[in-house]
Amino acid sequence: MPGRPTPHRPGSNSRTGADSRPGPDSRPGPRSRTARRPGRLRTTALATALVSVLVPVLGACGGGAGASAGGATLRWASSYFPAHWDPVVSGSGAQFRELALVYASLTRTDEKGDAVPDLAESWEYNDKGDEVTFHLRPGLKFSDGEPVDAAAVKAAVERAKKQKNSALFGDLTSIGSVDADGLDAVVHLTQVDYQIPQLLGQRVLQIASPKAAANPRKLDQKPVGAGPFVVEQLIPGTKVLLKKNPDYWDAKNIHIDDVELVSAPDASTVVSGLRTGVYNFADLDPSQADAAEKAGLDVFVQPGFNASNLSLNVNKPPFDDDRVVDAVRHAVNREEFVDKLTFGHGEATDQPFPTGYVAYDPQSRDPYPYDPAKSRKLLAEAGHKAGDITLDLVIPAEDPQAEIVQSQLAAVGITVRIKIDKNWATPFFAKDLTFSLYGTTGRDSAVQTLTAHFGPNGPLNLSTPYEPAGFDAAVAKVRRTPLDSPDYVRNLRAATRAGLKSKALVFTYSSPNLFAKSKAVSDLPKNPAHIDWTGVTIAGGS
């Protein structure tokens, strides 16, 4: 950071000025200093040697406040350090992984992405499919001593639906009410929906202690859950220290004693931090993968559902003309995103998830192939000459994606001005923007992913209330289909197909969930899009 310029007083010695140079009348001064130089040099050398020895020693002795003596400590540098620790405010974005250190949920997902028991040991639907009862494990407590029971589940759902600053209410439209009966939480649905066990997992219903949640602002600073770890110290936006929760229902399979979660300062510094032991686990920008591998770190891709897209507002010109939308679709070269942004670790996708995901519809593959000539022709048909259309691409932060979009659209005659708006979220979610970018890390429920993108009020649908024809019916059909039904995959893909008729989204590529860890940290369960610490060990303690 630059320093402030300081006026020089006449006659004062300046650091760089000619005044500091010995003048013709300055001999006595330097001479007397020269006479003492050997002694001062010795003192300086001794002091330097002392400091060089003491600093590392004292540094090692100090350690972090949360570092255990000899225990296994996870030092995690995260690019998604949560801005909020109240799960209702934090929402269902990528930071749920960090909040999952503190909070448990009714269900979790396994390596196939299926819902499996977490706080609920089992659940069952009624015959009609519009009511599901979750049976909680007995004897569980939140870290403040409050019981984990159906009343806590009911309170969590109601808070997520009603709290003024809830980022989750849009995800819970299928849930009408919850009845609490001891350890049984009976969830009454507004429609038949077999997605609920997947929905009420870590992304959407991390359950906080109702007593602590009575003051949501305090909960945001001092989270209280029933997850594998308990918060000891939280420095907002910077660092959180956690220790193992001995009362966690699966504590026997948690082999990490302490966690130091820090906000990763900069992508380019993460590898150095890992190499020097400041961290032993971090998410990694693809540009750093080579350096991490060369440093001898374990670089791995956790399976996930990431997808990036261009968001168009079809309620505003020029996207109210289908030919302009189609021109943009044909102007997008997905491979360029993959090559330049993922360094070979990602893949192109034209759907809101990567290929291979259960909801990916092979029939809808690449309906608008990269064809700049066709794009220019469509624009001409719409009456636009090259340079006629100028778009403001509004994004929250500098992003090479935007520059690629700008360059690709320039090639077909559309001028794009990139506008960075630190307050981007407000106009984006208010659907005020015409053109923007978004990247999702997906949802555990495939239907939730589809409705978030294509639903009339989907948060990622910039064109609200626009909805592609037939999408609502197709989604309702999937909701009515049990997940173990042979028709499930077919119905799900039909809903994807209906959603992809949307003119509001152009999907581009799927970035990898790239991580690097020291070899001392054992492999993680391959739960898609999750970071699950169950069974993970850290060799050699801290």
Partner 1 sequence: MVRRVLALTSGRIAAAVLTVIALLALFGPWLAPLDPLATGDNTLAAASGTHWLGTDYLGRDVLSRLLDGSRVSVLGSLEVALTALVAGALPGILSVHWGRVFEWTTLRLADTLVALPFLLFAVAVVALLGNGLTQAMLVTGVLVSPLFYRVARAATLAVARSQYVEAAVVSGASTGWIVRRHVWGKILPPIAVALAQTIGVGFVIVSSLTFLGIGVQPPAPTWGGLLASDLGYLSHRPWAPVAPALLITATVWASNLLADAIRDVSGEAGRVLLDDRGARDGRPDRTDPAPAPAPAGGAR
141 and 147 in contact (C-beta within 8 Å)? yes
Q: Mutual orientation of helices 488-499 and 471-479 as an angle, nearest 10°?
A: 160
**Residue 14 C-beta: closest distance to partner 1, Å:** 7
In the bound state with partner 1, the residue whose beta carbon lies nearer, of 17 and 139, is 17
**Residue 95 C-beta: closest distance to partner 1, Å:** 21
In the bound state with partner 1, the residue whose beta carbon lies nearer, of 80 and 466, is 80
Q: Mutual orientation of helices 372-381 and 322-331 as an angle, nearest 10°?
A: 160
CA dihedral 301, 353, 268, 85 (to 10 degrees): -100
Residue partners of 356: CB distance under 8 A and separation at least 6:
none
Catalog residues that contact partner 1 under the rule CB under 8 A: 1-8, 10, 14, 16-18, 24-25, 266-268, 271, 285, 287-288, 290-291, 294, 339-340, 397-398, 400, 402-404, 406-407, 417-423
In the bound state with partner 1, the residue whose beta carbon lies nearer, of 4 and 31, is 4
Query: What is the Cα–Cα distance from 188 to 132, expressed in whole angstroms?
Result: 7
In the bound state with partner 1, the residue whose beta carbon lies nearer, of 68 and 406, is 406
In the bound state with partner 1, the residue whose beta carbon lies nearer, of 132 and 393, is 393
DSSP 135-186: EEPTT-B-TTS-B-SHHHHHHHHHHHHH-TT-S-GGGGTTEEEEEEETTEEE
In the bound state with partner 1, the residue whose beta carbon lies nearer, of 10 and 362, is 10
In the bound state with partner 1, the residue whose beta carbon lies nearer, of 9 and 164, is 9
In the bound state with partner 1, the residue whose beta carbon lies nearer, of 21 and 164, is 21
**Residue 399 C-beta: closest distance to partner 1, Å:** 8
Q: For residue 134, list its beta bridge partners.
A: 123, 185
**Residue 80 C-beta: closest distance to partner 1, Å:** 18
Query: What is the Cα–Cα distance from 334 to 510, expressed in whole angstroms?
Result: 10
User: Cα dist. 413→374, 401, 410 in Å?
Assistant: 12, 18, 5
**Residue 408 C-beta: closest distance to partner 1, Å:** 9
**Residue 119 C-beta: closest distance to partner 1, Å:** 40
H or E element at residue 517: strand 513-517
In the bound state with partner 1, the residue whose beta carbon lies nearer, of 294 and 365, is 294
What is the residue whose two structure tokens read 């997850």?
Answer: 227
**Residue 113 C-beta: closest distance to partner 1, Å:** 32
Residue partners of 299: CB distance under 8 A and separation at least 6:
284, 289, 292, 293, 514, 515, 516
In the bound state with partner 1, the residue whose beta carbon lies nearer, of 340 and 526, is 340
The number of beta carbons lying within 10 Å of the beta carbon of residue 497 is 18
Instruction: Kindly report the three-state secondary structure assignment for every residue of 268-315.
Output: HHHHHHHHCCCCCEEECCHHHHHHHHHCCCEEEEECCCCEEEEEECCC
112 and 530 in contact (C-beta within 8 Å)? no
**Residue 81 C-beta: closest distance to partner 1, Å:** 18
CA neighbor of 155 nearest in space, from 76, 97, 94, 210: 210
**Residue 39 C-beta: closest distance to partner 1, Å:** 32
**Residue 332 C-beta: closest distance to partner 1, Å:** 14
Query: What is the Cα–Cα distance from 503 to 262, expressed in whole angstroms?
Result: 40
